[in-house]
Each structure stands twice: as C-alpha cells, then as structure tokens.
Chain A
Amino acid sequence: MSDARTLKRPGAGLRLGRFRDLTLVPVIIVLLVAGSFVDPVFLTPGNLTNVLQQQSALALVVLAEALILIAGKFDLSLESTVGMAPAVAVMFVIPVSAGGFGLEIPAALAIPLCLLIGAAIGAFNGFLILRFQLSAFVVTLAMLIVVHGLQLGLTGGKSLFALPESFLYLGGAVWLGLPAAIWITGLLFAAGIAALGYFRAGRSLYAIGGNADAAKAAGIRVDRVLWVVFIVGGTLAALAGVLETGRLGGISANQGVGWIFMVFAAAVIGGVSMDGGKGTILGALTGVLVIGLVENILTLKGVPGEWKQLVYGAIILVALMISRLAGGRAQD
C-alpha cells in the first residue's frame, strides 16, 4: 500500500547492484594518486606487491568475516585463531628444546593440523551459537579470550622461532614472479566471489542473513549452512596465520591481536552490512585494499607511530563517507 510506484526501469536494479560493489574504487584511485605524490617509490611494482603481500593474511580474515557477516552472524575470535592455530600446530612438530610438546610428528603435517585447529574452533563457535542459541557476539568475544589464552598458556607467552621450513614456505615463496601469499589470497577471493555470486549454496548466505525464517521456509538448512560458514571462517583464519607466520618467520605471542578492528573496518567500508544479508566479497576486497594503501602511505610518509592510529581512524571514516555518497544507500 506504499503510495509510490518505485519500480525501476528494467535492468537498472541489477546494474546499480554491480556498481555498488565498486563504490570504493574512486577512493582507491584517490589513494593511488595521493600516494604517488607522497613518495615516488609508492607506485613502483615492488612497493605495490609489497602492500599486497603484507595485507594478504588480513585479507583472508576479512574474507572469513565477510562470509559470516553476510550470513547474519558475527565472529570476533578469528583474530585469536590467527595466532593460536599455527602456534599449537607447530608445537606438535618442533622439539621440546624449541618450545614444542615433544611429540615431533612429521613436519609435513603441521599445515593440515593448523587448518584443522582453525576448523575446530569455528565448529565449536557454531556449536555454542546454534545449539545453545547463544548470541554470536558474546560467544565469540569469550572465545577470543579463551583461544588467545590457550596460546599464551601453552607457549608460556614466548614466541616460537625454530619453525620447520615447510611451514614457512607459503608465506615466503614466490610463484611466477608474485609472492605465493598473493596468489593464494587472490584465488580464495575469486572462489568466494564465484561462490556467493553464482552458486546456490553461496546465495543461501544472503537469504539467511536477510531473513532467516524466510530462508528456512524456502528449504535452506539454516543451521547447517551457518555451521559450515563458521568452520570455513575458522579455517581461513588459520590459513591467514600460516601466511603471516611465513612472512615474519616466527610466531609471536600476540600474532593477530587487535586485527579484528581492521577486519571489521575493511568489511564495513567495503559495503558488508553488520546486520547481515548485504554486501559482497568483491566489496570486502576493495575495503582491504583501502586499508592496505592507507597503511603504506602513512609508512612511506614517515608518520610517527603515535599519530598513525589517529590518521588511520580518520581515513577510515572518510572512506566510509565517500562510499556512502557514491553508493547512495544508507549504510547499516
């Protein structure tokens, strides 16, 4: 009974929808231009590759969080998984003298084990949230503390340095001229974009996040899908941990700590709604790029560490406003 006939011309809806993913593109262009003025080094392939490599681990966590947010849930514990999963997996491999458990299982098992731990954390989150109908926010907030606490307890708060070569490989290798981490992250994002754009299972995340009752009535197994999403999320966070470990060559006690703010910032400026059901993986990717470019420019410009946070936060706010203006729709 709404008074207005609000139908758009054929096609307008879909085409606008495409553009909405790309509202941050102008921001990225502005950043590229601004960066080239700040420092001539900025626009060199070497520097840009560097930006991408540095962001690849964070990007995987953003991918995980975007999937979970689109499905209408929340996971804060991902950042703790980034540190804990690789740390514990590696401790099964390395000798006691290096801080391990003394089990010394074959080094080739470390990465699969790490991913498995991530999956298990996601599964446990899903179990608490879906079976006990608890709030995702509170459950994963508690899990953020529990998982990080587990890492601190098991490692005694120490960093792990004597890591098996194979575990570091992915974070440092170069394939066809680009760091392996960029390939891996790129491929996983491509898979995410395809899954959420062109597969029924992926589209069901939008239905669940948009209206869970309607999704249920349409025959979507809401709980099962959500559970899988939590498990995929945990696994991606663990993989992010592997890449980050390889890039830095060790696992410090606070690997991943504090990431979750950046993760949410990237997802939200990329157009992923905190209320669920809205946003795209491509949008989330542009969010990551904005964050990465800003960070790089601040570093090149030599902004003192104490001021970085402030500038960082302010730029995120500006990016939000620009994407809102360009997108034209209210951001939730």
Chain B
Amino acid sequence: MTSTDSAVVEARGITKRFGPTVALDNAGLTIRAGETHALVGRNGAGKSTLVSILTGLQRPDQGEVLFAGRPAPALADRDAWRARVACVYQRSTIIPALTVAENLFINRQTEGRLINWRALRTRAQGVLDQYGVDIDAGSQAGDLSVEQRQLVEIARALSFGARFIILDEPTAQLDGPAISRLFERMRALREQGVTMMFISHHLEEVYEVCQTVTVFRDAKHVITSPVRDLPHDALVAAMTGEAAVAFEARARKVDAKAPVVLAVSGLGLAGRFQDVDLQVRGGEIVGLAGSGSSGKVGLAESLVGLRRPDTGTISVNGTVPRPGDVPSTLKAGLGFVPQDRHHEGFVPLLSIGENATMPIAHKLGRFGTISSSRRRSRAEGMIQQLDIKTTGPDQPVGDLSGGNAQKVVLARALSDDPSALVVINPTAGVDIKAKRALLGSVEDAAARGAGAVLVSDELDDLRICDRVLVMFHGRVTKELPRGWTDSELVAAMEGID
C-alpha cells in the first residue's frame, strides 16, 4: 500500500491484541477521497477493532494512522478526531434516557456556560431537518425505533463537519425499505464529496453502494480491489479462504400428521397486529415476512411471552402458557432468539458457557447447583456446532465480536432442545458462512422434530421455510408455499397485489 495525496485516511501495519486474542495482525487499508470503501470479513475478523482505532477510541499496539497524510491526533484530543472522522458504531451510542436533542449535542450542549434548552432543541431540530431526518428533537431517544436511532447517529456524525464517515454494519438491524433509504442518503453524501467506509455482511450491498472493497481474514489484510474487479464468488473466497459454495436450502417434507407444536388463534395486540391464526407442526419451518410496520416482530414477541396480547390464545405443545410470561412459555418447550440481542439476548459480563446454558442450568446439576465441567462441555459443543470465534467457553460474551455474540444467543435458544422455536432476525450481523451454520441449525432443529417460526427481513433466510406468511399492516395477508420468487414476496410485503 502506498500513500497518495488523495488518501483521506491510511492505516499502516496495525496490530492490536486483547489478551490472547490477536484482533488485528499487521493489517491496514487506504481510503481515497470521495470513494465509498467497503470493509468485509467474517465475524471476528477485526473490522470493528479497526473502526475503534480509526476513530481514536483505542490505541493500536503497533502501526500508525494517517489522516490526509498527516499523523493522527493524540488520543485525548477527541475534538480533533471528530473533526476528521465521524462514526456510526456497531453498538449504539444513543443514550435512551436523554432527549434526541441532547443526544445530538452530547458534551457540546452549549458554547457558553449555561445550557439553554430551548435553543439546544431548536439547533437539534435544525440538524435533523438539514439531514432530512423526520424526528422531533424533544422526544426521548429511548422511544425511537432502531432505524430512527440510527438516523440520529448519522445526523450527529455528520454534524461535526467531518468529511469521512465510518458506518459499522448500519444495515444489520434495518428492514428493506429502511436500507434503501439509508443507501439513498449515502449516495447523496457521496455526491457532496463525503468519503465513507462501509461495513456489512450483505455482499450485495457492497456491490450496490461501494466502489472499492477491502477484505480482512483472521485479523489480516487479504486484498483491496475495485468492486467491479472482484465478483461475488471471488469475494466470498477471499473472506473465507475457501471456494464459495452456493447455499441450498435443504429439501424437506413436512409430515402432515406431525403434532401441532405451536397454535395461535385470534391473536391481537392493539396497534400492532390483529386476528392472527397460525399453526406450526413439528418439523415445519414457517417464515414471517413483512415491512417494519407490518407487526411481524410484535407477533413473534407475543408468541414468546415478551408482549402480552390483548386477544386470542397461544398454545405451545398443547399447553397454554401464561400470556406475556416468558418463563412459563420457555417451560412449555419454546426457545427463542430476541430481536435486540443487547437488551434481551445475553448478559455481557457472563461467559459464553453461562449465557448459552442459562435455560438448561437446572439440567446440569442437582439441587440448584451447576456442575461447571458439564457446562463447559455443553458450551464447547455449541461453540463448535455454531462455529463461534472465541478463546473458549469462559470468555465473557461482551468481548465477542457482534456476529459471534449473536451465535451465542441462538445457542441458548437451542440449548434446551425446544419443541417450538421462534427466531427473530437470527442472522443480523452474521457473516456469510456463519449464516449458513445458523440457518443450518434451525433446519437441524426442525429435522429433530421441532416446529420453528422464523421472522426475518432477509429474503435469503426465508428460503429455508416450508411456507412464508406475509404480514401487512398487522394482518396476515398472504401465504406463500416454498418456491416463491423474490419479486412475488416483495410485492406481497409491500401490499401490491
């Protein structure tokens, strides 16, 4: 890599270790002015670590960062960093208890001494309007949807005037239309000459918005190339180090006489969904598709007891768990992967072993004790099965890369051999190879006789389903058997047909 005049940022020979883990090994990249540069790699390849080094949150053990050919500012000089690079991190940096306005101007609420709240709100509304974000600056950040929070983060990032923005997996939590809106925004920014670094596990997105792509594998830089010179299969091969194999959903037949493991009738929740009837047989995978406002996530959350429906009944395995009660739903034999893994998914300070075996703790020992050797061996099995990149079962989940943390959540859902499984966006932020492993383990569970409901914003995930129910404005409007085409499904999701 040679530095050129037009390099906005250059990272050279960066090495970063976390204890025994080498997150970056003599890796680097150069991003030229005006381009949108993709950084791809498997979970744990070191992408987010590079982001924290490029934004001055962490110091590399070795190597240097240059902005426009000049050495990066001192770590303590946050203002200087923020004038050079803005970032939307993989983990949200919105503070839910504060207003949107204060989040936008956090730690710079005022130039002078006293904060003038009214002026702050006006300024914040100005920033939101300027970047076309339709949110009231006075609302509480905790009340925003994931997309809205992200827009606030983007508006905040831009408001510092940096001409270089890093987006770490911005699309992982968004649905189709929201992603299109984000891309429109990114294109408009590029036209204004803003340089971007974009991280995603959705390779088609790389082809859609990026001009250059850099691949990291096992903490090392593998290749940097113009996007058009690196076709999909070559890109996958660079990421995984092996030739790409196309993903095939397994052929399966649902036994029409298999018992119904999850039955729902007349389910409704005011403002979210109404009149939902659903029956899932053992061995069957049912997909739930729909746009962000379709109510599919609300429905799935009601199935697992995270929300209490207003009307209707849910029965799991023939028993009716207490509505809105997660423990009794789990006890009835249901496993689930929640949408917001940072909130409901795992306990960051506990180890992988503890997190993954939480629902089966009672099976690992007697009289309320937990045998740690049994837990270890169970956890090791899960780590292998789901290909979790870690130093071992004792590593706290909070230290894992984003995608690997997601795998722990699925491991937990599967730990109790549930007879019914509800998974919400299980592959958000998961790399292409791991995605197959994750979907594969849902298929395995079905093969063992479990019935599964799979909620996803990704059409590819839904291919493993025996049938897909499409929701629109809170109602199930269409049922598509296996073999649907993308355009058919998208049309149904958008309510045009």
Interface residues of chain A, those whose CB is within 8 Å of chain B, are 1-14, 17, 197-200, 203-204, 206-207, 210-211, 213-221, 277-278
Other than the given A2-B297, A217-B55, A217-B87, 11 more pairs (CB < 8 A) read A1-B145, A2-B145, A3-B145, A3-B294, A7-B135, A7-B136, A8-B140, A14-B121, A203-B109, A210-B96, A219-B107
CB of B174 within 8 Å of the partner chain: yes
**From residue A167, how far is it (CB to closest CB) to chain B in Å?**
35
CB-based contact B174/A1 at 8 Å: yes
Chain B's interface size range is: 35 or more
Q: Does B143 contact A (CB under 8 A)?
A: yes
Cα A189 to Cα B97 with chains together (Å): 22
Check A3–B295 contact: CB distance below 8 A.
yes
Mostly, the B contact residues are: loop
Q: Are the CB atoms of A1 and B78 closer together than 8 Å?
A: no
Residue-wise interface mask of B (102-119) relative to A, using a CB-CB cutoff of 8 A (1 in contact, 0 not): 100011111001110100
**Contact status B93-A217, CB under 8 Å:** yes
How far apart are A282's CB and chain B's nearest CB, in angstroms?
Answer: 15
- In the assembled complex, B298 has its CB within 8 A of some CB on chain A: yes
Q: Known contacts being A1-B146, A2-B146, A219-B78, is A213 close to B109, with CB within 8 Å?
A: no
Chain B positions 67-113 with a Cβ under 8 Å from a chain A Cβ: 76, 78-79, 82, 87, 89, 91-99, 102, 106-110, 113
Which of B95, B136, B295 contacts A214 (CB under 8 A)? B95
- Which residue of A is nearest B91, CB measured? A213
Q: In angstroms, how far is the closest chain A Cβ from the Cβ of B150? A: 10
Q: Which residues of B contact A199 (CB under 8 A)?
A: 113-115
Contacts A1-B178, A3-B294 given; indicate if A13 touches B138 (C-beta within 8 A). Answer: yes
Chain A residues with CB under 8 Å of B178's CB are 1
Identify 27 residue pairs between A and B in the complex whose beta-carbon atoms are under 8 Å apart, listed by A's number. A1-B175, A3-B272, A3-B295, A3-B298, A5-B293, A6-B144, A7-B139, A7-B144, A8-B138, A8-B140, A10-B136, A11-B138, A12-B138, A13-B138, A14-B117, A17-B140, A198-B115, A199-B113, A200-B107, A200-B108, A203-B115, A206-B97, A207-B107, A214-B95, A215-B95, A217-B89, A218-B107
Closest-CB distance, A199 to chain B (whole angstroms): 7
**Among candidates B87, B114, B139, B297, residue contacting A3 with C-beta atoms closer than 8 Å:** B297
The 8 residue pairs across chains A and B that have the minimum distance between CB atoms:
A219-B78, A214-B93, A210-B95, A2-B145, A218-B107, A6-B143, A218-B106, A13-B138
* B271 CB–A CB distance under 8 Å: yes
Closest to A275 in B: B97
Measured CB to CB, the nearest residue on chain A to B298 is A3
B147 interface residue, CB < 8 Å from A?
A: yes
Chain A residues, CB < 8 A from B114: 198-199
Interface assignment of B457: CB less than 8 Å from any CB of chain A: yes
Tell me the smallest distance from the CB of B217 to a CB of chain A, in Å: 27
Verify B144–A200 contact, CB threshold 8 A: no
Q: How far is the CB of B288 from chain A (nearest CB, A)?
A: 12
A318 to chain B, nearest CB (A): 26
B321 → chain A, closest Cβ, in Å?
23
**Known pairs A10-B138, A13-B140, A217-B93; A207 contacts B98 (CB<8 A):** yes
Across the interface, which residues of A come within 8 angstroms of B91, CB to CB? Answer: 213
Asked if B173 CB lies within 8 Å of chain A CBs, one says: yes
A-side contacts of B293, CB under 8 Å: 3, 5
Contacts of A214 in B (CB 8 A): 92-95, 106
Q: How distant is the Cα of A185 from the Cα of B173 in the complex, in angstroms?
A: 48
B138/A14 in contact, CB under 8 A: yes
- CB-CB under 8 A from A207, the residues of chain B are 95, 98, 106-107
B93, B178, B297: most-surrounded residue (chain A CB, <10 A): B93
A203 contact from B93, B102, B147, Cβ within 8 A = B102
Interface flag for B350 (CB, 8 Å)? no
- Rounded to whole angstroms, the CA-CA distance of A11 and B95 in the bound complex is 19
Distance between Cα atoms of A6 and B140 in the complex (Å)? 10
Q: Which residues of A contact B146 (CB under 8 A)?
A: 1-2
Tell me, yes or no, whether B254 is within 8 Å of chain A by CB.
no
A211 vs B149: C-alpha distance in the bound complex, in angstroms? 15
A4 & B102 in contact (Cβ 8 Å cutoff): no
B339 within 8 A of A: yes
